[in-house]
Chains A and B, each alone.
Chain A
Amino acid sequence: MKYDVCIVGAGLSGLAALHTLSNESLRVAIVDDRSEIGGNFLKRKWLLDEPERFNWLVEKEISDSVDVYLNHEAIGVYADESLGITDQLSLKQIQAEVYLQCTGLRELPYLFDGWQLPGVITLDAFLQLRLIEQVNFPHHIGIVGQNPLLEIAADKLASEGFNLIRTTTEQSVQTVGNKQVEYLMLDGEPYPVDIVITSKGYIPVNELAHLYKKPDAFDYRPQNHPMTLSERIYRAGQSAAVTTPELSIQSGQRVAKEIISNLQKEGV
């Protein structure tokens, strides 16, 4: 299938870029590995002050001229630089003039002794379970890690009446239990917990740029140079080291405008 632009990731920056691109007569495809658009924003909006400011992007209807590939993961690049996507049953090949990586952030868990025990989950897993899947949580929850968003989540949980065991960076942390987590050991003292939430921070999901031979995954260009070393791949949003949801939307719009002007120069 041939397109002018293929956006990978239907989060805030991908949808903002799609919104800008849809004003032009371009053939656009958008790919996401989840079953609905919205990306990580759907999970993490509970932690934002005013999530309704961003809802318009997710609620916006996508026009019929855009091909939406939900439940599709981008897994590889063909020799002609077209992108291979799969829904685990079939493989599709997407040929596009440019690819836009809007893959967002992946969570970096804080690992301690006993993190493998059942009942220890990451902050993103907690948000997915609680906000998307509406799971009821047990009363005693341990909080481990230095992610600032974890503090916000812990404050909200404490105000809802959960009994939290919070840890600091100076304490030695360990979980013990037989079949699942039973105690959180802080400096050797046991505290009974039902589950433990751990998070250290987030890292950009950058495999796509890597596939397109961007030499170093951690060599970020400054924000006003969104184009990576390969001229066919652009990055936007939090996978391009943007920090806030507002900047994510702005970077999606800005990169989309740059794509439009570059495509017009090439006469597409």
Chain B
Amino acid sequence: MATFKFEEKDIPYQVGQSIAGALFDSGIYGISHSKQSKKLRGAFCMNGDCCGCYVKVSDVQVLACRTPATKSITVKRGGTGEI
């Protein structure tokens, strides 16, 4: 099964899954850091509305729920705003 890297871990994914979906499938819910409260945040709405799932793909901040998982990308926790 194809994988990508999240915080040095290999995460398997199926075709059609977003980054947030693949991480959820692996049991990783906290995928983003809140800048305000310094705590972990996860995908809440999977719609792109809540902005709780910002991750960094090649140092670019994207929404994990709106970004399809692709092979061999390197994903790191991003920073959400004031959530």
What residues of chain A have their CB less than 8 Å away from a CB belonging to chain B? Answer: 33, 106-107, 109, 115-122, 124-125, 128-129, 132-136, 138, 179-181, 195
Contact = CB atoms under 8 A, between A and B. Distances in A.
Interface in B22-72: 24-25, 27, 29-31, 34, 37, 39-49, 52, 65
5 nearest A-B residue pairs (beta carbon): A118-B42, A118-B29, A125-B46, A133-B21, A118-B30
Interface residues of B, number: 27
Nearest to B29: A118
B17 interface: yes
Contacts of B45: 107, 109, 121-122, 124-125
B2 interface: no
B68 to A, nearest CB: 8
A33 B43 CA distance: 18
A109 B44 contact: yes
Contacts of B39: 116
Q: Which of A121, A122, A195 has the most CB of B within 10 A?
A: A121
B42 A122 contact: no
A195 B41 CA distance: 13
B52 A116 contact: yes
B17 A195 contact: no
Nearest to A135: B25
Contacts of B52: 116
A64 B27 CA distance: 43
Given A116-B34, A118-B30, A129 B46 contact: yes
B44 A121 contact: yes
